[in-house]
Structure 1
Amino acid sequence: MTPAPERPGGTTARTVRRFLRDNGLGLFFLIAFLLALAGQALAGRAEFNDQLVAEGFAPVGLGTYLTSSDFAVDVTENWQSEYLQFSLYILATVWLVQRGSPESKEPGKTGTESDREQRTGPYAREDSPRRAAARDWRGLLYSNSLGLVMGVVFLLSWLAQSVTGVAAYNEQRLRRLQAPVDWTRYLSSADFWSRSLQNWQSELLAVASMAVLAIYLRQRGSPESKPVGAPDSATGVEG
């Protein structure tokens, strides 16, 4: 029997559906991020204009606010705390365990593990990334690439926060007829550390809560949870 001819655009449609299916998690959070960023821009501009009007200055348009240091510092201070959270979690879970948590390795399996367990060097498989088989600096770099990239992004976003933060801080001081401060002085200011620590404490609390609550609570079908029927003491088991 002769198969029905392919409809125009049928292959493209299937490719798009497959792409959306295979990348749904990343796309969902990317879209949610953009919507949240847009909401922050609108709400932040309204708050910023309220402050300007209260101090006797004219409000600014959305475009001006989006290019302002006030908006930039609010964005970067959240980014750096998020990447700090993941950097610490990635590195801490190499050596530390939480018995009963699916977010932890099993007790007794701490450390970087053997080449056989990690499928590196001579134990790399045919479907392993080529870099996993390298036994020189390339293999070492690739073996630690996730933590390194997360750490670098944290440091860069923290640096960006400090640069935009000192600009926003000095704008406030100038509106109050106070002398501006330089970048090095701002790094030791209460404003800089208050912005940083208020985000760090919330992120670290969230990670601790996830690691501990997942011992006793379940979310059916989620890889971040143990199977519903798994014992509370089961460690490193994902649903």
Structure 2
Amino acid sequence: MKKFLHENSLGLVFGLLFLVVLAGEAVAGHADFNQQQLSEGLQPISFDRYVTSASFAVDVTENWQSEYLQFFLYIYLGAWLLQKSSPESKELHKAGRESDKDQMVGAYATDTSPAWARTGGLRQALFSHSLGLVMGAIFLLSWLAQSITGVAAYNERQLRNLQDPVSWGQYLLQPDFWNRTLQNWQSELLAVTSMVVLSIYLRQRGSSQSKPVGAAHAATGVEG
């Protein structure tokens, strides 16, 4: 067990932090929702009802979709686009798909390579793009979930204000949907830009996201 925890500590800790923060969001969101209910002369709702409501679901999914959009873009654009001197970039001579030898596929696969890296055809092609495809699929599914829960929450507000509800298609054209979407996209893109540029000149000793402390500022694609 000690060995398992040591070898998987990064994923386990982030997974635990996710659950803790999600629980905190649920508690804070419930309190905030009920404050709004009372201010509008409506009855507060129970915690169970809140965490199964469209209001809570849209708040969660709008953040999920932006995170997976960030990863999807970073994975695909990072294969072709470069940033000189950043450890977040590939080395300047490695832009693009790289050779089969560099990627250890087909005839260049080793005994420890995954089975689909050793085969050719469709299986190798799918495996070669599996990370980006899955991240892209999760982004689209979470964005769809945001739009569905968003229109439900939006229509609840419409009905409380004695206004007509809208269809899902109409909601996709509403400022509410795009405000929720774009405010998350801009923050994720800013975070990536900051990481790419600041990691050129700043260091974090021992981190895989940083150059070694003594590495030259000009070094590109070097990990600590």
Letter in 2 for 1:61: S
Letter in 1 for 2:173: S
Q: Post-superposition shift, 1:19?
A: 1.0
Letter in 2 for 1:229: G
1:200 corresponding residue in structure 2 = 185
Query: Aligned pair 1:146/2:131, yes or no?
Result: yes
Q: Post-superposition shift, 1:106?
A: 1.3
Q: Could you tell me which of 53, 57, 62 is aligned with 2:42?
A: 57
| Partner Cα separation in structure 1 for residue 179 and residue 113 of structure 2 | 44
Q: What per-residue deviation string (whole Å, max 9, x for no partner) do you get for residues 46-83 of structure 1?
A: 11111111111100010000100000000000000000
| Partner Cα separation in structure 1 for residue 3 and residue 153 of structure 2 | 45
1:232 corresponding residue in structure 2 = 217
2:3 corresponding residue in structure 1 = 18
Q: Post-superposition shift, 1:142?
A: 0.1
Larger Rg: 1
Letter in 1 for 2:140: L
Q: Could you tell me which of 157, 173, 196 is aligned with 1:188?
A: 173
Query: Aligned pair 1:124/2:109, yes or no?
Result: yes
1:100 corresponding residue in structure 2 = 85
| Partner Cα separation in structure 2 for residue 122 and residue 130 of structure 1 | 12
Q: Could you tell me which of 66, 76, 83 is aligned with 2:68?
A: 83
2:140 corresponding residue in structure 1 = 155
Report SS of the residue matched to 2:75: helix
2:27 corresponding residue in structure 1 = 42
Structure 2 residue ranges without an equivalent (≥5): none
Q: How does 1:63-74 map to 2 (within 5 A)?
A: 63-74=48-59
Q: Post-superposition shift, 1:134?
A: 1.3
| Partner Cα separation in structure 2 for residue 60 and residue 181 of structure 1 | 24
Report SS of the residue matched to 1:202: helix
Q: Post-superposition shift, 1:205?
A: 0.2
Letter in 2 for 1:44: G
1:212 corresponding residue in structure 2 = 197
Normalising by structure 1, report the TM-score: 0.93
Moved over 4 A (4+): none
CA RMSD of aligned residues (A): 0.5
Letter in 1 for 2:91: E
Q: Post-superposition shift, 1:108?
A: 2.5
Query: Aligned pair 1:174/2:159, yes or no?
Result: yes
| Partner Cα separation in structure 1 for residue 26 and residue 94 of structure 2 | 45
| Partner Cα separation in structure 1 for residue 48 and residue 159 of structure 2 | 22
Letter in 1 for 2:94: K
Q: Would you say how many aligned residue pairs link Structure 1 and Structure 2?
A: 224
Report SS of the residue matched to 2:93: coil
| Partner Cα separation in structure 2 for residue 129 and residue 182 of structure 1 | 46
Structure 1 residue ranges without an equivalent (≥5): 1-15
| Partner Cα separation in structure 2 for residue 52 and residue 25 of structure 1 | 40
